[in-house]
Amino acid sequence: MSIFVDENTKVVYQGLTGSQGRFYGLRNRDYGTRVVAGTNPKKAGTDVDGIPVYADVADAVAATGATASCIFIPAPGVKSAVMEAVAGGITFIVVITEGVPAQDEAWFFNEVRNNHPEVRILGPNCPGIISPGKANIGITSGDIALAPIEGKPSVGIVSRSGTLTYQALYELKLQGIGVTTCVGIGGDPVPGTSFIDCLEAFEADAETKAVMMIGEIGGSAEEEAAEFIATKMTKPVSSYIAGVTAPPGKKMGHAGAIVSGGKGTAAAKMDALRAAGVKVGHNPTEAGELMVEIIKGL
């Protein structure tokens, strides 16, 4: 099994006619993802290498039955693109775009949570999601992901960092460990999907036997995840927290990765995770090695 997306998921690309949307939309389709439509009100009735383009998401959903969207719209237009997807009947929205204004993120996060609880947003500023061998929505390279191997335990991955998402996938592939789903939740201050959302889904997924969690400095998401792991999870977890050497008050790449007033440090997050029974590595490779130990013990 997998979480959130699988081989049956039909996806519409908002921004398919742009350079980035086209590149990744076609790449995802070549991977095997069911990319069934794109949207552009000025190019409705055309196609992108055989993928039909519709005026808006509602038209695309009506014609194709899509349930997921992937947004490659420039940052100023993301808020309206998200709400267009919601109004069109999409229930899983992947926002790849970075630089989305925090006030826009907060607005559509709360609007969807309060008035459209059936809809899940992933991102913004995330690499997307891949269920290896089934579906790849976003910018992750399918080449670095190993699909579950029959007869062997499989692992779920959730990460705030895009680059470290890729490394986690590849570390497990090198060790011959298959992945059910890898979710990049993004590093912005208001992510649509949290660590806990993914941990809860992995806990409920029968095929996922263990979870690798990649966090970073800033905020309290990792500490909250640690509490969830300690009280609600039965499956083993390995982890790595980026930013051990980050100085206080400096933003480290992601908008949400900033240590303020001594809070949100890597050390505090690592301590909380260890106290919850998580095996914490000092670098991504060590986190992968710890997962190998976990798999051997299953």
Range 60-86 burial, b when 16+ CB lie within 10 A, else e:
bbeebebbbbbbbbeeebbbebbbbbb
For residues 34 and 4, is the Cβ–Cβ distance under 8 A? no
Angle between helices 284-296 and 162-174 (to 10 degrees): 40
116 catalytic, yes or no? no
Provide CB contacts within 8 A for 121, sequence distance 6+: 82, 93, 95, 108, 109, 112, 192, 193
CB of 154 closer than 8 Å to CB of 207: yes
**Catalytic pick among 79, 173, 254, 269:** 254
Any alpha helices (H) in the chain, and if so which ranges? 19-31, 57-64, 78-87, 102-115, 162-174, 195-204, 221-232, 266-275, 284-296
Q: Choose among 246, 185, 199: nearest CA to 218.
A: 246
Is the distance from CB of 37 to CB of 50 less than 8 angstroms?
no
Longest dimension (CA), the chain: 57
Per the document, the length of the chain is 298
Count of C-beta atoms within a 10 Å radius of residue 263:
14
Alpha-carbon gap, residue 145 to 182, rounded angstroms: 9
Residue 88: how many CA atoms within 13 Å on its side-chain side? Answer: 30
**Catalytic sites, residue numbers:** 254
